[in-house]
Amino acid sequence: MQPLLSVPTILTRMGVSEGFWHHEYWLPPGAIWEDLKESADVHYPQPQHLLLCIPGALLLIFVRFIFERTVALPLGRALGVSDKQRPKVQTNVTLEGFYILLGKTPKKEELVSLAKKSDLPVRNVETWFRHRRAQDHPRLMKKFCEASWRFTFYFTSFFSGLALLYDKPWFWDHTVCWLKFPQQPLSPVLGSFYLLELSFYCSLVATLPFDVKRKDFKEQIIHHIATITLIFVSYCANMIRFGMIVMLVHDASDYILELAKILHYLKWKRVCETVFNVFAVVFIISRLVIFPLIKDKMPEVTLKRVTGAKERIWQRTKNNTGLAAKHQDPGSL
């Protein structure tokens, strides 16, 4: 039987530099990575577990593909979701080439040039581009299917997480989250839930280019990457208890928003407005009331840990920069 490895050894083998996983940046004062060394009976989060999010994300993409076609699509049709009839666009190699390579909205002088090349009136060219852009608009059924998938996951995730944490003393008294931190053994169920959430957000990033492109596309990317980073950091630092509560608080309003979107696509206006108002109330309470209260329960040393780590990184960078400048050849300046 191979000996169980410590976190620094695992991270080194994964190609992460020594400075990155220095215990001062990840653990509270007085704690080192050796404190999280596993034994036969006690298990802690290990960085290599995070690699499971890759097959996990692929599996979720596959499940989503099946769900949207076998559940969401028939459900949408049964509830009356239908796409508007769109005007057909005549095939035109010149205009299509410009549309794909140079832009979807040509300028006035470009319209004149394209009209000459296509031997068409300028007005017909304008109409062609307008109808061609309409073809690329996301279809209502596609929006419905995507919102249905996200609603299903967020709904399942929230109530599953609630069931997992309901009997945990640290769920009701958040100060218990930090007892004996970071030496808090990880249960397989909580570890699996954590990795499932990570896999889901990785799957969202992977499918973003193929999903309905919204106006907040860039913000979505930033949000998903930030979420993945926070899950990664909290898992490696064994902040599972606090991380589980934070994810639960955030999931509390997400599924309500997706439900409001579904109702909007169904054109159930009054019900949609009611659900959206419920979402607004839950969002404000969970994000602006409950979450700050949870954060305030963190020990002072834990709150100062991130700030202290940033200061140490800045000081080391400053010292290294000054040392390099001191030994630099004056002739090269």
203 vs 92: CA distance, rounded Å: 37
Residues with Cβ within 8 Å of 286's Cβ and at least 6 positions away in sequence, in order, are 249, 250, 252, 253
Q: What is the pLDDT of residues 37-92, one digit of tens each?
A: 766 677 778 888 888 999 999 999 999 999 999 999 999 989 888 766 666 767 76
Quick one: pLDDT at residue 1?
42
Quick one: pLDDT at residue 210?
83
Per-residue pLDDT band for 182 (boundaries 50, 70, 90) equals confident
- The rounded percent of the chain whose pLDDT value lies above 70 is 71
Quick one: pLDDT at residue 310?
43
Quick one: pLDDT at residue 324?
41
**Comparison of pLDDT for 181 and 101, the residue scoring more:** 181
Q: What is the average per-residue pLDDT within 14-39?
A: 65
Per-residue pLDDT band for 332 (boundaries 50, 70, 90) equals very low
Quick one: pLDDT at residue 118?
76
Top mean pLDDT of 119-133, 150-164, 201-215 is at 150-164
Q: Are the C-beta atoms of 223 and 148 separated by less than 8 Å? A: no
Least confident interval from 105-109, 219-223, 246-250: 105-109
Q: Output phi, psi for 139, to 5 deg.
A: -80, 150
pTM for the whole structure: 0.73
Least confident interval from 170-184, 231-245, 271-285: 170-184
Q: Give the per-residue SS3 of the chain.
A: CCCCCCHHHHHHHCCCCCCCCCHHHHCCCCCCHHHHCCCCCCCCCCHHHHHHHHHHHHHHHHHHHHHHHHHHHHHHHHCCCCCCCCCCCCCCHHHHHHHHHCCCCCCHHHHHHHHHHHCCCHHHHHHHHHHHHHHHCCCHHHHHHHHHHHHHHHHHHHHHHHHHHCCCHHHHCHHHHHCCCCCCCCCHHHHHHHHHHHHHHHHHHHHHHHCCCCCCHHHHHHHHHHHHHHHHHHHHCCCHHHHHHHHHHHHHHHHHHHHHHHHHHCCCHHHHHHHHHHHHHHHHHHHHHHHHHHHHCCCHHHHHHHHHHHHHHHHHHHHHHHHHHHCCCHHHC
Per-residue pLDDT band for 131 (boundaries 50, 70, 90) equals low
Quick one: pLDDT at residue 299?
58
Quick one: pLDDT at residue 306?
44
Q: What is the average per-residue pLDDT within 110-132?
A: 75
Quick one: pLDDT at residue 110?
76
Quick one: pLDDT at residue 298?
61
The pair of three-digit structure tokens given for residue 302, joined into one six-digit string? 């834990």
Residues with Cβ within 8 Å of 87's Cβ and at least 6 positions away in sequence, in order, are 131, 134
Radius of gyration of the chain (CA): 26
Residue 159's CB: how many other CB atoms inside 10 A?
13
Is the per-residue pLDDT at 303 higher than 60?
no
53 vs 194: CA distance, rounded Å: 10
Q: Which residues of 53-71 are buried (b: 16+ CB within 10 A; e: fewer)?
A: beebbeebbeebeebbeee
Quick one: pLDDT at residue 2?
46
- Distance from CA of residue 95 to its chain's centroid? 38
164 vs 193: CA distance, rounded Å: 9
Quick one: pLDDT at residue 7?
53
Q: What is the average per-residue pLDDT within 81-105?
A: 70
Per-residue pLDDT band for 8 (boundaries 50, 70, 90) equals low
Per-residue pLDDT band for 112 (boundaries 50, 70, 90) equals confident
**Comparison of pLDDT for 79 and 5, the residue scoring more:** 79
